[in-house]
Structure 1
Amino acid sequence: MILRKAVEKAKKRKDRIIDFLIRNDVYESPDGRQLYELSLYEINEMYQKIKKEREKNNES
């Protein structure tokens, strides 16, 4: 039961990050894989990179 909730929570997080990436015109990884093919770790890394870029641009 606990494991199932953890898996569901991770899937929801992954879906939210994918939605964010798509809204920011990111449709695949730098190596050409589709977002849904990536692990949560990989899409989270892409998410963090975009967030940092946006914050940097806002500071300018």
Structure 2
Amino acid sequence: MKALVFQGRGQASWQDVPDPAVDDAADAVARVETGTACGPMAPRARAPARRHTSRLV
């Protein structure tokens, strides 16, 4: 699956990562449709553009 990975201030990229798995009874997998950065981080969170996302975790 693709995930937006932040490497540091102002640096992010879409990367292939393993699919999440439920390994323990206390684990959960959540599907996120939309996300945003708020507060002091918002002006610095310059993520690469992506037209659509099938899954983010």
- TM-score band, normalised by shorter chain: under 0.3
Structure having the larger proportion of residues in strand: 2
Which has more helix, going by share of residues?
A: 1
TM-score by length of 2: 0.22
Higher relative contact order (CA 8 A, sep 6+): 2
* TM-score, with length taken from structure 1: 0.21
